[in-house]
Structure 1
Amino acid sequence: MPCKIPPDHKGDTIYLILWHKKGYNEPIYSYDGREKVLKARSEATFLGGRADILPKAEDPVLVLTDLRENDEGTYTCRIDYRRKATRRAIVHLTVIVPPETPLIFDGKNGALASGVVGPYLEGDEVSLVCQVIGGRPSPNVTWYLDRQVIDDEVELTTDSEVRNLVKLSPLRRENLNDVFQCSASNNLVTSPASTSVRIDMHFPPLSVDILSSRAKLSAGKMYELTCRSVGARPAAEITWWLEGTELEGATSVDTNGGNETHSTLEFTPTAANRGQELVCRAHNPTIEANPIEDRLQLDILYKPMVELKYGHPEVNLAEGQEFFFECLVTAEPPVQKITWFHNGLMLRTNASAGVLESNHTLLLKNIQRHQAGKYSCVATNDEGEGSSKALVLGVKYVPVCATDEVRMVGAARQETVSLDCRVEANPDLVEFAWAFNSTSEMIRLEDNLFDKRDRMSTLNYTVHDDYDYGMILCWASNDLGIMTNPCKIHLIPAGPPDEPLNCTVTNQTSHTVNVACLSGYDGGLTQAFTMEVYDIENGDLAGNVTQTDLPVFTVQDLNAGASFRVMVYSANAKGRSKEVALHGFTLPSQEEPSVHIFPITPILGVLIGVIGALVIVAVVVVVVMRLRGDSNASRKMRQDTKRPTHKPLLPQKELEDNPDLIPSRTGDMGGDTEILGGERIPPKLKHANLYETVTFGDNKDNSNDQPPTEDNGDGEVEYAELTFNTSKAAKNSKFKMPKKKKEKNANGAVRPHDDSTIYATIDHARTEAHAAVPPKKTPGVGEDPNRRASGGNKKENGVCNGPVPLTDEGRSLDDIPLMDTALESSV
């Protein structure tokens, strides 16, 4: 509020400014400008610090902030000047009070609206009241719709309240979400106070339609049926109905802001739905109104529904009678053919066998036992096949064995086996009898050895000796008679099976081992074959395979590069066979392990150098010892050269002059004999290497190792070595070793006669023991022309005393042993 100063007072110094308000005796605000430090203070408590003065303005101004209604009044300003006379100015302050924010109420129930009013239904009448409290001067209250004034007449005005009522009737769908605004204003300085509300409305659905095709539906197939509803607010609720029963499982989706709703039903029709109506209903659950609906007449195609009926109440016939079945069918479209089945097998018309098909009827003439069983019919149309339940037709007949085969049963001696006899019969009340058919007579078995239940009898039969094996027969009888051909069981000896034969590892991979065998004797019973694979490294069972047909096995998932012990055996009800042991292995894995280069550290280098030095020292020591050994060997050879030369075993003169020797291959034999040291050898030893005698006991180095002998004066002993050539020439020669069994020598060692090399050593102990016995002299080389050359010495009392003749009286040349049995031999 300005304090006006006359023009002639301007420029003079202001000493004091005082503000007064009418009704207050004291100044409400003062300003003292006579001191160096200017002071201004508020004297009235109602100002509460909201007043301030601007003395330096062109006209001094009193400023009031946060203006209040009681600030209104007449204010007087007094100004004292330094030279001029005091001046006063009067200011009138008018305070305008804006109205409060309008409140909107529902005219029907008086409820306060907070942004939304309703919901209303289509055709409803709406009345809204706008209430404004306070304001000075009294405010103007106005209703707006889409910024257009629709009502500005005030119905009620008081000192503290103003009301304006607006009515809308009737509501239409277009009024949904309309915004009505109430505005209150009492001045042109401040903006009007206003409040707005939005109209909410609920609508029933306008339409409902089943969108799915009206074509025919196939029974048993699943269809997705869709129903659409439009126009409901909130979204419509859609339900499906069939013959007055609500269907469950439909799913709904709202689109277009809820104005449109789609409901999908997964529907699987049946033949019973043919001609029925499927109904889709839509309604708004918030509105009390009848739902609207759409209907779909169901035209269902279905495969035949078949029922089989007996043609006669008696269904248990005797052989030779007549019977028929009737097949009742309902289908859409109509059936194209009907097929008949007996025990699951299709029947065909056969007049000679008495099977006749006529329309929907099956006629059976002259019924036989094999025609008993289950009968059914199958009808076919474009939708598929329909089968009836099977009906049983019974035919009375005498018992027959359930199987025509002769059963083989194995049993061990002193074992009791249970033998079953099962028969087919109608009537099925049967009696049983058992017999044993020996080679000479039929023996009926006692009744206490078997029992019966239904159409089966079990015989407990004990095998005491071999005469109890053979054919066992079983008969059954019913009211129609006794069976013609008995059931037969052949009882045979049985035991554990033999082990599999010729087992070999046929194929090996990095993770698989395959083994194939031949079947051994099954022991008279069905056998099974088993292979167990054990890891040799840890002994764990790595695989176990059982075969029932052939002993061919494959074990997989084995460790690569491992060795395995494979055990194969067979087993039957009597036990298991011996195990066949094999060795198997898996190949290394194809993936090579990565190579890591070990770093050579200084310490490791020193250690390698030390080890290398030790190795070099060891090699030097071995070389020195070897050279020393060669020197000793050379010295021994020089000593051996001093020994007398031994005589050849086969002197030529003896071969030529002695008529008992084996003839040579020259002259009459038609060939030459081979020469050994200039001497001829008999054909018997053609492929042998013969060695002569060596001196025994002359060397001082050997004097302590071997005893002296007194065979002859020059200190010689004789030994022989025969090496039989195994070359192809020797094998093809007609002079071959006689094939004989293995024999034991004097020490019990087994020596085969066909060994290529035989060494003979002399038993010196026995030679010395019998040295006093003079040998029987016979003519020989240097002594008697009748002595014969041989590869050994003649045995007399266990002592080698002289050459052994190559032939003995009464024996052929090939039967002569190559080495005297008195000599110990080894290979």
Structure 2
Amino acid sequence: MLIAPLIVLICIGASSAHDPLFREEPKNQTVLLGHDVILRCVAEPSQSGETLRSQWKSSDGSLLGFRDEGVLAGYRGRYSYLRDGPDEKHLRIESVTLDDDGMFECQMMRPGIRGFRSSAYLTVVVPPSEMMLLNYRAGEVIQVNEGTTLNISCGATNAKPAVVLNWYVNGKVTTEGVHRWSKHNLNRTVTSYAALLWKPSRIDHKTVLTCEASHPPSEHHYRVNISLDVLYPSNAPRISIISGSSSAQAGDNVTMVCSTSGGNPPPNVTWFLNDRAIGTNFYYDYSTQETRNVYSMIVEADDNGAVYECRSRNRIGSEPLKDSIRLSIAYAPLGVDVHGESATRYGRPVLVHCRSRLSNPASRIKWLINGQPVRSSDESQHEQPSGTITISNLTINPSDTIVNRHHINVECIAENERGRSSKQHTIRILAPPMEPRIYGMDGEALLEGEMLNLTCEAHGGNPLATLSWFRGVDKLKETRSTASGDTSQSTVSFILDRTMNNQQVRCEAENGALDEPLVATKTITVLFPPRRVVVRQDERTRRQMIAGEPTQLICIVPSSNPAAEISWQFSSSDHPVTLRGENKLNKTSRENGGFEVENVLEFTPTLDMDGSDVKCIASHPLWSDQKVTPFPLNIFYAPQMTVDGPVTIVVDEGDSFKENLTVRANPAIATWKWRKNGIPFENTVGAIFARGAVLSGRSVSGFDSGLYTLIAANSIGSVNVSLRLTVKYAARVTHITSPVMAASGEEVVMECEVDGVPRINGMVKWLRGDTVIDTVSFDGQTRAVLRLNASQETSGAYTCVADNGVGKPNRTTAYLLVSRAPSITRHASLLRAAGPLGGRARLRCRAHAVPDATFHWSIQSDSGPIRYNNTKYSFYEVQLDHSTFESVLWISGLDQLDYQRTVKCVAMNRLGEDVVQITVGPPTAPDVPVDLRVANSSRSSLTLVWVPGFDGGSEQVFQVRYQIPGENVYHTINSTSPKVEIRGLNVAQLYEVAVRAVNARGAASDYSRPSLSAYTRDENDVDISAVSQKKDSFPRSLMVTFCIGGALLLIINCLLLCYMQRHQRKKKLQEKTEMVRKTNSTGGDVRPVQMYGALTNTESAYRPDSANTNRSELAYEPPSEDDQSVRTMIEVNPNGYVQQVDRSAFYDPECLVEYGFNHVVRQNRLRGDGPTYANMPYPEPPTVDRVSMGTHSVGYPESGTLTRATDVGPLGSSRRIHIPRVIEASTANNYQGGLNNNGASQIMSTFMQPGGVHTAPLDYSHIDGDLV
């Protein structure tokens, strides 16, 4: 209906002049961004009353429609129509944006009259979003060097229209050096910039530069400021002296002042001496802007000519300004140095140099000889930076000078106006000594190692002679020299050795008066044995000694004094043999001047000599000892074995061995060759390694058995030896028939073949469970054949055991699978599924069948099964083992209807089918894990296993906590599988353990109760006790109190009963009572009785929040008759007699009871809606044996099931009852506080005959009740 008028309005031309049909036309408006605006449009009223049709067109050309009033669609609800009358239509725009900037048009029309329109321009004003300085921060102070051009830019962003930018210097606008530009943005805003180029001087220090942005449409003004810190240098420094002068004397106090003015920052004024800072303390006067540094010192001689410099600098890196001053200090000469010869001979002139040290002014030099002044014409002065040095030379002729006791004393004196200094020099006059003489040796021969003492004397001379000892060309240092009167004496002592034989010892006497020393000599003769004796073979024997062939040995004594006497000695186990050879050579040796001797021995070596020594002995009667040199005999011979006959080695399979076949040979074996069973091999064959004479094996197997032969050869001959290796390995199954599928009634054959060494009778046998099957036929020692008639009774696992006494028996399981209809496992974790609304739930259906099973899923109230995967349902199947199959159904998009309907799973094959109903519900907490037990233990670890419960609809992990009883510290371990090993435990320590489940949603079950107690093994790795559930001891005092109270109550009841019988006078009861009394007195039969009491798990009742709950703590709970009382039920037989009860009748083979508990189980109250024996299948009597929990377990109701048995097999199968375990201290830790006990602490059972209800084998020690 709106299309035709809209087309008409669009097609009507608009007039720029005022249209008389408008009473109020829209007006151009300017609005600030974000504000509201109203565009008014009013038409002239219609005289005839026609209806006005009107609308607005937006700035983007869109028509806003003919709606009467209210918020318009689009534009985020900012556009709306306003009407104060039928001829008005105003457009209200809230929170104006830049998109609203533009032309708006009001369009109106009346029937029969032309359309008319009027436009108005809406201008959106945007103040600048930010005012900033480029490259600087507003309000900061920037440092700039004097005369450096500064470029500062400011900007105002995103304004509409553009802002006006001006620069101010200390509040005054400036246009010089200002450059402006702008940038237009896509949203029609403008970003404006203004740059100021400014070259500041020192008068512009602390000047404030301001950038102002004016935006007239919005009447906004923005400013940013920046301050200048102009850096400029100070004036040149000036030095003045305020105490003393630049010309002073040593010891005066001189104070110097260095000052400078100006500078930003204030300068650093420092005193320097030789480019080293000596005065850095300065101060700045803010009033005069002057910086001063005052330096005061006591001047010394070193300060003469010193240049002190003052430096001023106010910026790092800039060149400092400098001023300097030079000081002149007057001081006496600092000393005198005299140089010249200190000794001379008569008639030889001596030149003496005298040098004054620094002085100011220059010094003059005077000479004194033996106290008498002497002139010197050779004098000069040398200027130095800090003073003057004076030098004078004097030549002295001893012949012209009076000599006093061979000495001349010379003194040099330097002086000036400030003082004087002097130094003396002594010159000695030299004279030669007399010839020296040596005492202490008269020419006799001495033995090597003896001490020789010599003395040398020389008389006269000035100075006395200096005596030195020489042996050959070597100067002896270990001497002792003395002087007495005009005699010099020197003594030397040294130990003689062979190198001194025939050497000369000389004594030299010298002093300054001699050009060549005076010499005295002596010759030394030393007796010495040989230092070494060399034994070698004759060159003609090829340097080899072969057993049985003659050979020669040569003994050489290189040097001895006198000549050595040679003898030979052969080592022997019985007694040594001494022989004498023939001397072939005896001559003078060049070594130490001794004698060289060569002796030859000829003999025939034997095999026994190999490895022994022959000794060459050099001796002489004049020597204190003899020199012996052994010569090892290396006798060559063919290889020899150290053992006779073949070697036998027996090892177990998997072990390692190493056998060294010792072969004796010389030279060493050149080739080693090995053969196995006559076949050569190199280094390795199988697990056997051959290296030379060593045969070893690593992890050997039966394939390595055999006869190994070693052939060893050298250059002389060869030998061989054999070794027989036998590897014993444990018997193992090499072939077994499995699995075997057959129909019931068929005859099947199952074979088992084994291998092992040694082979013995009975090394292979078949077992069913732990029972050996006797009806087995054997084929030799290694093959056993089992023939069976296939039936459900014979179906299952059969074990073939291979055992030959080596290692552990090898067990291999074979399966006889007899065709059977599917049987669905009804475990708690499989009968329920959970998932959140809108999420997914996984349903699992597991069945046992042979040969296979197929699954069909259907939903309650649906017409048929689920045939295909779709978005709601998807399923797949998997085979878990030979006879176990599982189908998984995923339900997606869960809703309340899925929670209300059950899902049926049908497992079928050609032999039959089985059906189970599975419920789906919302996510819950996981069920408490059950059957927590110890699977293995060691000295420091425990391995725990348990049976998981329902996971609550998501993946679950298990938390195991343990502690040492009595401690308050708990330890927790997480595990994703129902098995965990706790390590790092103490040896032979009792631990308490509990486990709970936590699923992925964070929901957690309670910890398992009762807690498990277990011991780690002791130091000898002995299991000191078996695992048992913890028993809480019942206080003996409380038991005695209960017994006494019960006896009193019984007596009172008897009295009341007697009283009631007398007063009621019921004849029938009296007759029956009398009959019972007579029967008891006559010893007749006893009537059947019932026992009613409490069978406990030997665990006291626990409150949810306490580990030590007693009855006083349970006072607040509503007591129940079953857990607060003990009843005795008596059935009176109409025949009036009591029967004896057979204990075996307390178990009914056709009845199984499970007690169901709801949430009130925590209050120890039994449910009344649990299953009863009336509607349960009738299993066979239980076989009491060792139970290992398999993959199947009974399905528990959601509230949990309490039963006397620890392990329960699947319903419909042979029911297993857990044997009560022997109580042992065990190693698991239990939490003691904050736990919920979801299992009943007591199980109330009634034992009847016949059809009595039982949940465990009867143990009279556990009956907590009365037997009447």
**Both structures adopt the same fold (TM-score exceeding 0.5):** no
Range of TM-score over shorter length? 0.3 to 0.5
TM normalised by structure 2 equals: 0.25
TM normalised by structure 1 equals: 0.36
Q: Which has the larger radius of gyration?
A: 1
